[in-house]
Amino acid sequence: MRIDELDTPVLDCDLDVLERNIQQTADLCRRLGIPLRVHSKSHKIPEIAHWQMDAGATGICCQKVGEAEVMVAAGIRDILIPYNIVGAAKVDRLLRLARRATMTVAVDSLETAQGLSAGAAQIAGRVRVLIELDTGGRRCGVQSPAAAQDLARQIVGLPGVDLQGVLTYPSRREAKPFLDETVARLRQDGIAVHVVSGGGTGHEAISQEIGCTETRSGSYIWEGLTRVHGRDDLDSNRCPLRVVTTVVSVPAPGRVIVDGGMKTFTSYPPIPYGLCLEYPELHIVGMSVEHGHIDSRASTHRFRVGERLSFIPLHGGLTTNLHDKMVGVRGEQVEVVWEVAGRGKIR
């Protein structure tokens, strides 16, 4: 089947570009000598995770237990969830996964660690944990090396919980003193630190520089609009993801409406929402739930109802999560249709 025979809106992916992106980051990490743990939240497709592992990734990340269930069912056997897993229902699912795969999770409080320990006692299970450090990202994480040491001392006494080390996000040079002091404090206490996990696409070399034992990268596979600083430096040859739409109305000169809105592209701010490949001069200026509003005044082209327009979406991970399927294409030919098996797995 050819790509222009697919009904729209449809999410498609240029497999040659995807393959190149996967290989380039794998090669970069190999050259740097830092293990790469890929974050599957960017695609939520088990086949892509396997592809990344085959290229050299040592494991994957999932942000939620539900995503990890999908990946373990698909045969992935080493998963880090860099997220505090809170509540008996989730902990139980996590512990059951930990019987079938190596599962590691983040903790930044005694409550979270105790919850894991209580869940482990229920099913005689074990889970590995990393203490999350807030080294400047200002999301989760303990606030100082002393707080990390304090938490570590309490975690080592908890049954069913194996403290493996620490994690932070994103890797920044300024984080090094925080990481070094934390590792030193834990080692002074006789606590082995096997893992120092850093991350962020584009931060792989920094992870290596600041002494991480692995780096977590996710969005490198899409290199979407959020990864470039303005339209001019966008190299569409590095962006495999496209939303293909159809023009459903040309209501007035200078205005074009396509059949994808927030439920197709996400409403993630700010505009431009996406870059049109056929007519880069177009601006998506707004989104209704199911309509995309385009300002076409900068274009000399006369748009017609029924015409197809393809966009590189602003945020690959958010856009992927809205679609049941992703179509893999080479040139104009459809090669594979993937189920986005982890989509919507927010628990």
Ligand X SMILES: Cc1ncc(COP(=O)(O)O)c(C=O)c1O
Q: Which CB atom, from 9 or from 200, has the smaller least distance to ligand X?
A: 200
Q: Residue 18 and residue 275: Cα distance in Å, rounded?
A: 18
**44 lies in the binding site for ligand X (CB under 6 A):** no
Partners of residue 275 on adjacent β-strands: 312
Q: Is residue 313 near ligand X by the rule CB under 6 A?
A: no
Three-state SS for 276? strand
| Nearest C-alpha neighbor of 298 from the set 312, 307, 286, 285 | 285
Mark 108-147 with x for binding to ligand X (rule: CB under 6 A) and - for no binding: ----------------------------------------
Residues between 248 and 277 with contacts to ligand X, criterion CB under 6 A:
none
Of 90, 108, 169, 309, the one binding ligand X by CB under 6 A: 169
Comparison of 23 and 246: residue with beta carbon closer to ligand X:
23
Check: CB of residue 42 under 8 Å from CB of residue 61.
no
Q: With the CA atoms of 120, 124, 128 and 134 taken in that order, what torsion angle do they form, in degrees rounded to the nearest 10?
A: 10
- Asked if residue 222 binds ligand X (CB under 6 A), the reply is no
* Interaction of residue 200 with ligand X, rule CB under 6 A: yes
**Is residue 217 close enough to count as binding ligand X by CB under 6 A?**
yes
Q: Contact letters (x/-) for ligand X, 59-78, by CB under 6 A?
A: --x-----------------
Side chain identity at 17, as an amino acid letter? V
Q: CB burial class (10 A; 0-12, 13-18, 19+) of residue 139?
A: exposed
Distance of CA 281 to the CA centre of its chain: 29
Which is closer to ligand X, CB of 219 or CB of 266? 219
For position 160 contacting ligand X by CB under 6 A, the verdict is no
Pick one of 3, 6, 39, 341: the residue that binds ligand X (CB under 6 A): 39
Nearer CB in complex with ligand X: 11/221: 221
d(CA 271, CA 283): 9
CB of 38: closest distance to ligand X in angstroms? 9
Segment near ligand X (CB under 6 A); pick from 8-16, 194-202, 298-306, 322-330: 194-202
Nearer to ligand X, 64 or 291 (CB): 64
Among residues 218, 224, 260, 313, which is the contact residue for ligand X, using CB under 6 A? 218
Task: Please give the radius of gyration of the chain, using alpha carbons only, rounded to the nearest integer.
Answer: 22
Q: Is 216 in the site for ligand X (CB under 6 A)?
A: yes
Q: How far apart are CA 261 and CA 81, in angstroms?
A: 31
Query: Binding-site residue total for ligand X (CB under 6 A)?
Result: 13
One-letter identity of residue 283:
H
Count Cα atoms within 13 angstroms, Cβ side, for 235.
5
How many Å apart are CA 171 and CA 157, to the nearest integer?
Answer: 29
Residue 201 in contact with ligand X, rule: CB under 6 A: yes
Question: Measured from the CB atom, is 67 or 259 closer to ligand X?
Answer: 67
Residue 263 burial (CB < 10 Å; 0-12/13-18/19+)?
A: middle
Instruction: Enumerate binding residues for ligand X (CB under 6 A).
Output: 39, 42, 61, 82, 169, 199-201, 216-220
